[in-house]
Each structure stands twice: as structure tokens, then as C-alpha cells.
Amino acid sequence: MKPLTIVSAGQHTRLQAVLELALTGIPYDLSVIGDGPMPDLSHRRVLFAVSSGKYGLNADICKLLLHLRKEPAAMEGSYGAMVIDGEGELYTKQLARVLALSANGAGCFFPGKSLVDGTGSLSTLRIQAQRAGITRQEAYPLAVKLLVDRLLAFSPRRVEKPNVLLLHASNRETSNTLDMAGILTAYLKPRCTLQEISLRSGLLMDCRGCSYNVCAQYAMNNSCFYGGAITDEVFPAILQADVLLLLCPNYNDALSAHITAFINRLTALLINNSLDDKYLYAIIVSGYSGGDLVAQQVLGALSLNKSFMLPPRFCLWETANAHCASAAYGKRSEPSGRTCCKPSFPRFRWINMIRSLSQLIKKRLALLFLLLTLRLSDLRGIDASHFFRILSHNLLRCNMIKQQS
């Protein structure tokens, strides 16, 4: 792998001095995003040094993001980390998530906690400065230096037959996300040791917000205030796992409540345990758009914050309202090389649709339409819009027959 490469974007003021202090004695190549051609970022250790300005965006950042999204192998074989410097109190984390997702989709591997962000007041470095007994201005280059040292030393471990923890909070009878995971795990089982845990079993409480001292006291036994399935089942499984595979249906462009509660409760485990040697993967299924927003939440919470490694192209996101036969999964590839699958609606959804609609007609017709739906649900090539056109037409005909009789 080639030496450290600094990818500079934006007009640096404070960040320039920070980098000079942090990179003292470290050889590196400098690539400045500007009017020239984009640099080769493959098979390198890359530190993104980005000044986002007052508004969190500029032309250089847009050019960098466009390049990473257009070139699916732009960072193949590379390891990455980020320093985001802002003039205000907003947008640094937002930009970090967007940049990380774009670079990851282009092949970049991020170690856990691969971000140092400095807001205008450097409030993000207050705790680190207090612990070290220094000012925030002194803590800033120190944090960047530690990040660079970890990036240069980063070497993800390889496991011949990894332990994979499949974590979800979905209903097996109704979940398209679980259907998709089932297709994937069928390929994984011969190569991995797979453990599945559902967060739906038992009462799951969100984080209580205990003080650090109280949380640390419970964490001595890998527990927390509420206990329950999280500490009894999930925490031990995470410690044993090499890979966390998270199933994330898109709920209003956000993670579900159970998954969010799980992430919040992880703090108790992190106090006395390191998770930076564990891989993070996710399957995200949306009814429409917004899968990228959920992916940013996952990588932001579990990799940039909670320290899971983010391997290249960590996320598979799909849309569940269009049809693609299960047998065709993996046979069609998009330009990025990702396999694409559009899961069809399970049979129960057609049944529920017709049951609600059958309330609008006579009881003697309800059974007829239910049987019709069961038949149509077996025709896996029919999409939702076409189905409703057929159904509406049949309802209209039946009403006409009823009126004539």
C-alpha cells in the first residue's frame, strides 16, 4: 500500500495549522481538490482533510463527492479517515456521514472511530481536552495525530470462518427485510457460523440516560440499569461475533425504534470492551426512497461513534414495492457491481388488502375475492399498481352485476 495521502478540500484556515502540527515527522502525499483532475485514491491510506466553511458545503466538496459516486472503484483497496473542520456549530457530522457513505461505496475501508470533527467552538473536543488537562486548541491537533497513527497502523483481521450475528426486530411473517436476509444467509451458512437474535422478543427499553459513573458501575459486569435481553443475550453475542449484520427496514427515513434502542444501549458495553475489531454490515429495505439516509445513520452511530469497522460497500439497500423473483437474486447487477433484488410482496399482504376491500361489498362476494387474491398472489410477476388496476376493474364489474340483478 502506498504512503499516506492527504486529500484536501475547501479553503483551510484553522485546519492548515492543525495538520502541520499533527503530521510532523510523517511523510505524506498531498492531493488538493480543485480545478485539476481528480487524484488516484486506490490502494492508499487516505486522510480526508475537509474545511466545510460556515454552511457545510462548497464546490470542492461537491466535486469530491461527485467523483466518489461516479467511480465505483475510485478507492478500491484503500483505508480512510476524516478530519472535518467547520466555522459554525452545524454540518460537520452531516458531511462526515455523506462523505463516508460515498467513499465506502467506492471501495474505501474505514476503521472504527475514523472521524475527528472540529466545530467553530471546538465543543466536540471539550471532554478530550478536560481529560488531558489541555485546551481545546491543543487537543485538536493531538486528536488528529492519534487518528493518523491509527490509520497508518490499521490492518483488519481476517477470519477463516467468521461468527456472524444477525440482529433484527422484524416480524418473520410480514418482513421483506427478513425475506431478503434469508436469501443472503443461505449463501453465508456454509462459510460462516450464523447466530440470529430478534429484538422483538421481550420488552426492550431505550437508554435511560444514566450518568457516566452509574453507567460505568453497571458496565463492570457488562450490564446496564434495565438489563433484560440486551444485556443477557445481545451483549454476549456481540462480544463473541466477528461480524454484525444489522437488518434495517426504513421507517420514515429512519431506523426503527428497536434498532435505535439497541444502539443507544451499546454504550454500557463499550466502556470496558473494544469493538474496533468487528465488521459492520447492514441490509436496508425501503418502501420507496431514503435508504441512503438510513445507511448514514447506521455508519454514523455504529462506526464513526461506536467503533465498528466499516468494510467496503458495507450496505445493501433495496426497494420492496417492486417485483423481482427470488430466484433472480444475484443474477442482475447494477453498474456499481452491487446485486439488486426487488422483493415481491408476501402473500399475506395481498390477503390483508383484499380483506379490507371486501368490507365494501356484499359478504357473499368476499370469499370470491379472497380466493381470487390467493390465486393472484401466486403469480409472482405481478406488481402492486397492476394488481390494483385489475382489482378495481373486478370490483366495478361486480357492483354492476349486483345493480343489474
Q: Which stretches does DSSP call E strand in 205-296?
A: 243-249, 279-286
In the chain, where the domains are located: 4-153, 163-328, 347-404
As a whole number, mean pLDDT of residues 106-119 equals 96
Closest CA to 30 of 2, 7, 14, 63: 7
Q: Is 138 helix (H, G, I), strand (E, B) or coil?
A: helix
- State the chain's mean pLDDT as an integer: 82
Bridge partners of 279, per DSSP, are: 243, 309
Write out the DSSP string of 340-405.
---PPPPHHHHHHHHHHHHTTS-HHHHHHHHHHHHHHHT-TT--HHHHHHHHHHHHHHHHHHHHH-
Task: Report the share of the chain in percent with pLDDT over 90.
Answer: 54
Task: Report the share of the chain in percent with pLDDT over 70.
Answer: 78
Query: Distance between CA 371 and CA 355 in Å, rounded?
Result: 11
Q: What is the pLDDT of residue 348?
A: 41
pLDDT, greater one: 48 or 183: 48
Q: Which residue has the cell 502525499?
A: 29
pLDDT digit string (tens) for 220-269? 887 888 887 888 889 999 999 999 999 999 999 999 999 999 999 898 88
As a whole number, mean pLDDT of residues 129-134 equals 94
> What residues contact 203, with CB distance under 8 A and at least 6 apart?
228
> Same topology for domains 4-153 and 163-328, yes or no?
yes
CATH superfamily entry for domain 163-328: Flavodoxin domain (3.40.50.360)
Is residue 95 within 8 A of residue 52, CB to CB? The reply is: yes
CATH superfamily entry for domain 4-153: Flavodoxin domain (3.40.50.360)
As a whole number, mean pLDDT of residues 70-91 equals 96
- Out of 33-42, 230-239, 334-343, pick the least confident: 334-343
pLDDT digit string (tens) for 138-177? 999 999 999 999 999 999 999 889 999 999 988 777 778 8
Tell me whether strands 79-86 and 315-319 are parallel, antiparallel or unpaired.
unpaired
